[in-house]
Structure 1
Amino acid sequence: MADQAFVTLATNDNYAKGAMVLGRSLRNHKTSKKLVALIGPHVSEQSRAVLHMIYDEVRLVDVLDSGDMAHLAMMKRPDLGVTFTKLHCWTLTHYSKCVFMDADTLVVSNIDELFDREELSAAPDPGWPDCFNSGVFVFHPSNETYGKLLQHCTEHGSFDGGDQGALNSFFSDWATADIRKRLPFIYNMSSIAIYTYLPAFKQYGANAKVVHFLGNTKPWSYTYDPKQRVVRGDIQEASTHPGFLLEWWTLYSSCVVPMLQKEYGEQPFHSGCEELPQCEQAQPLISSEERKQRWEQGQADYMGVDSFDNIEKKLAAFLK
């Protein structure tokens, strides 16, 4: 429907890359909905141009300099700047219903059925399942709701310092009021769950529709060799399953990088795509299927990437 849209937010060029991949993944899986990108003032002109090629609407939002209610709220709670920026999605009142998706998510199957859900529908957070993860949620744009959210944030803040704490505080009955608003985890499968409950991932992971690259290390933090189809970086810091990381880079290098190259022209820019020579030090991330087979055959790399120390480091990094 023309009055329904997927919405994302990019505050800088790195997150703009994520938004580009997210938009392309939605297009590749034949969504019938509009695509909207909210961007911050630090997104470059070149990135904005590429976003305009992928998204139906690209809207600049800046709570620090705006003259709306958010600006008044900022004067009382400047610590919630990022949260207030995300809340701008409720001002998209020319749409009747939207699905917000963080720029570090990747769609691996058509998810238009999410528009059958009501506000506020979301998947449980793996760290505290009685809270929802705000990386994917269904909402109804409304200036009235937007004003109430700003007032709530100004008065109560956020218990985690970000939008997730604020939204869970505002929609406080999510876990108890209506089971229909609890989205299946496959609509927001976060990386931490893969390593904390591997048997469940082996059982249900193939049904995943949205992958969320949680943690400080994002897909664009790595480099990629398109010829060898190898993702390079510190494997111990990998924030999600290698197969999904490879899928993100394949889409980025094939669909997004050519558009960025055209916009930058002769100007240098860091695409992250490299053709590095093979060497013994390079440790390519194995594919999802290869790693699954090794686990099932009892051949987990207990001294390497699958060691207890490495898994403990991932958990520690996430909890921080």
Structure 2
Amino acid sequence: MVEGLGFPQRIIKATPSKALVIRINLVFLAFFIIVYAALLLRPSLSVYHENAASLVRCSIRECHHKVRWDENGIKVKAVLEESTDHDESNINLPNYNKSKNIGLINETTSSHDELEIPSFLKKMLGKGKKKIGMVNMDEEDVSEWNRKYLGETIAVNFDHVTDFFKWEDLFPEWIDEEEESDVPSCPEVPMPDFKRYGKMDVILAKLPCNEKERRDVFRLQVHLVVANLAVKKGKRDWNKRTRVVFWSKCRPMMELFRCSELVKRQGNWWFFEPEIPKLEQKLSLPVGSCQLALPLWGQGIHDIYDVTKIQSSSTSYLKKKSKKREAYATVLHSSEAYVCGAITLAQSLRRSGTDRDLILLIDNSISAEKRAALASAGWQILVITRIRNPNAEKGAYNEYNYSKFRLWQLTDYDKIVFVDADIIVLRNLDLLFHFPQITAAGNDFSLFNSGIMVLEPSNCTFKVFMESRNDVVSYNGGDQGFLNEMFVWWHRLPRRVNFLKDFWSNSTINEISFKNELFGADPPKVYAIHYLGWKPWLCYRDYDCNWDVEESFVYASDVAHHRWWKVYDAMDEKLQSFCRLTKRRKTELEWERRIARKKGLVNGHWRINITDPRRSHLVKD
């Protein structure tokens, strides 16, 4: 078969030439070189994890890492940002981030009918050429306003934070307050280049809204951009106010734009006239609890903190406007169990040197005799109607703890420093009145502890609380959880201001010794001690009864216990008589000691001989 070729011959005939094989090999070699180069340029996983909180979605060519220094020469952390080459000719073109608008602003309008200009805004702008600063507005929205010739629109550019930037980066659970190994710092939230913009008659912004997740960094960023524009570029009236308008399906953050500054609401439009000096002071504080609003103190514990560091440059204006009134306050309701604690608190406040009013809110559960003792201790007493927590079970300990909302009705005062009745004050706390609402010490995660906090009374804020109490979920079922949902942006005080009497279950001997040293230091090294667990007046004075209950070991400290009794000993005997044990509580203490003895608890406190004279002078339950 000469004419045709069999199958094997055809295979041989199809074998490529040597040149073709070389070309194929070169192609494969080039491919592997490209892959290798890509892997070589890829950031290592360790770098990724180290900077995960501050990365942005951008390529290597488009990213650069910013490290800035503040005016005091302190290094400030920065997030990676998209590098933008701003062109002066494009200054009024907004810098849109489509993925961010879709991902976080899940309630932005798909139809521009929803953004129909409200009547109050048309009246405000009039026919004159007003300059309108527009923040986080879609290009179509800007065009619509230009078409209707309502004024000169100025789109404000800023780089949006990304999903890698988490709330916990701004509000970490723990920071090195003592600055033993590191100086706490905050990541940078990108802001516009304010020098590029002139004065604005009105600042208009569209806010993202997610009622299920209030801790949204982008939402906070938009608020901060607007607040900074109001302070730096907003035209002010004779009353030091400027005009800010939001479009939002949920209320703008009361932490920056106070309830009392809301002039009008129409649908999803909110018109505020913020008081600039107060807003300016808020912006001068750290952007989150990642830094202390009040540094621990100066070079030593006896140094007095320089309050000019936290006072607004417009403080003189605030003083001229009205004579400020300030007070400490606490709340007693539902039982008389904390009467002794409130008496001791008042005495400790007066011993600290304060001359501020002491306001006590009580309900009808406090007898006339106890009221007289509380007044003698220094409290000015106001009787309130309790507020029920709608999410609490009937008869539960937290059934009426929303009564604390009544503090916001003390509108005769500009500032209130609330102090829980299970606290004693060891150092003067008057400097806290220089801080805005909400200023407090940290608790867990991104939350503050409401045991000591600065608040600003407002009937409007009280009304918002009452309207929200059925919908807002408290993480702990109490007022602290509710307030943490209403004020997610707060200012961090050192833990020594509200020093919690508790220990981690895995605390080392050195950690326990350090904390006990702070509890007992004289002169005091902490401002106040917050007694968690069983309260000192409900124990024998001989030792901390938390030692007798295994579940309460984390709250046990004889040093802190004896510190409370030292304040008690300085009180008048008549006031001391209101700290007696009840027959029921004595029975409970003896039972707990008996169980501790039976279990043979190694701390051995059950062996201590009781000498507390109150044991023989009991009161009826």
Query: Normalization by structure 1: what TM-score?
Result: 0.69
Larger fraction in helix: 1
Distance, in Å, in 2 between the alignment partners of 1:19 and 1:75 is 23
Q: Does 2:471 correspond to 1:155?
A: yes
- Residues 251 and 158 of structure 1: CA distance in aligned 2, closer, same or farther (over 3 Å): same
- Residues 129 and 159 of structure 1: CA distance in aligned 2, closer, same or farther (over 3 Å): closer
Deviation at 1:56, TM superposition (A): 4.3
- Residues 109 and 160 of structure 1: CA distance in aligned 2, closer, same or farther (over 3 Å): same
Distance, in Å, in 2 between the alignment partners of 1:91 and 1:136 is 18
Distance, in Å, in 2 between the alignment partners of 1:132 and 1:234 is 25
Distance, in Å, in 2 between the alignment partners of 1:191 and 1:75 is 27
| Matching of residues 207-218 of structure 1 within 5 Å | 207-215=525-533, 217-218=534-535
Instruction: State the SS of the aligned residue for 1:41.
Output: coil
Q: Which of 497, 501, 507 lines up with 1:187 in the alignment?
A: 497
Deviation at 1:18, TM superposition (A): 0.4
CA contact (8 A) 1:47 1:260 kept: no
CA contact (8 A) 1:213 1:240 kept: no
Deviation at 1:201, TM superposition (A): 6.0
Q: Does 2:304 correspond to 1:304?
A: no
Report the counterpart of residue 286 of structure 1 in structure 2: none
Residues 248-295 of structure 1: CA distance to partner in whole angstroms, max 9, x if unpaired? 22322441542364xxxxxxx77139xxxxxxxx9xxxxxxxxxxxxx
Amino acid paired to 2:547: I
Deviation at 1:235, TM superposition (A): 2.6
Instruction: State the SS of the aligned residue for 2:457.
Output: coil
Q: Does 2:406 correspond to 1:88?
A: yes
Higher-RCO chain (CA-CA 8 Å, sequence separation at least 6): 1
Q: Which of 261, 264, 271 lines up with 2:580 in the alignment?
A: 271
Q: From the CA coordinates, give the structure whose radius of gyration is larger.
A: 2
| Matching of residues 1-320 of structure 1 within 5 Å | 3-11=325-333, 12-63=335-386, 74=388, 81-125=399-443, 128-174=444-490, 181-193=491-503, 197=507, 199-200=510-511, 202-203=513-514, 205=518, 206=521, 207-215=525-533, 217-224=534-541, 230-231=542-543, 233=545, 235-237=547-549, 239-255=555-571, 257-259=573-575, 261=577, 271-272=580-581, 303-304=602-603
Distance, in Å, in 2 between the alignment partners of 1:196 and 1:116 is 37
- Residues 20 and 153 of structure 1: CA distance in aligned 2, closer, same or farther (over 3 Å): same
In the alignment, structure 1 segments of 5+ residues that lack a partner are: 64-69, 175-180, 225-229, 262-268, 274-281, 283-301, 307-320
Query: Normalization by structure 2: what TM-score?
Result: 0.37
CA contact (8 A) 2:501 2:560 kept: no
CA contact (8 A) 1:257 1:271 kept: no
Count residues in correspondence: 252
Amino acid paired to 1:191: K
Distance, in Å, in 2 between the alignment partners of 1:94 and 1:195 is 44
- Residues 134 and 270 of structure 1: CA distance in aligned 2, closer, same or farther (over 3 Å): closer
Distance, in Å, in 1 between the alignment partners of 2:576 and 2:514 is 38
Q: Over aligned residues, Cα RMSD in angstroms?
A: 3.2
- Residues 42 and 145 of structure 1: CA distance in aligned 2, closer, same or farther (over 3 Å): same
- Residues 233 and 172 of structure 1: CA distance in aligned 2, closer, same or farther (over 3 Å): closer
CA contact (8 A) 2:415 2:455 kept: yes
Residues 103-134 of structure 1: CA distance to partner in whole angstroms, max 9, x if unpaired? 00111111111111110001011xx2411111
In the alignment, structure 2 segments of 5+ residues that lack a partner are: 1-322, 583-592, 594-600, 606-621
Instruction: State the SS of the aligned residue for 2:502.
Output: helix
CA contact (8 A) 2:392 2:477 kept: no
Report the counterpart of residue 277 of structure 1 in structure 2: none
- Residues 91 and 131 of structure 1: CA distance in aligned 2, closer, same or farther (over 3 Å): same
Distance, in Å, in 1 between the alignment partners of 2:360 and 2:416 is 12
Instruction: State the SS of the aligned residue for 2:477.
Output: coil
Residues 213-250 of structure 1: CA distance to partner in whole angstroms, max 9, x if unpaired? 112x11121123xxxxx347463346342122112223
Deviation at 1:55, TM superposition (A): 2.8
Instruction: State the SS of the aligned residue for 1:43.
Output: coil
Distance, in Å, in 1 between the alignment partners of 2:546 and 2:484 is 33
Amino acid paired to 2:459: N
Distance, in Å, in 2 between the alignment partners of 1:2 and 1:51 is 26
Distance, in Å, in 1 between the alignment partners of 2:424 and 2:366 is 20
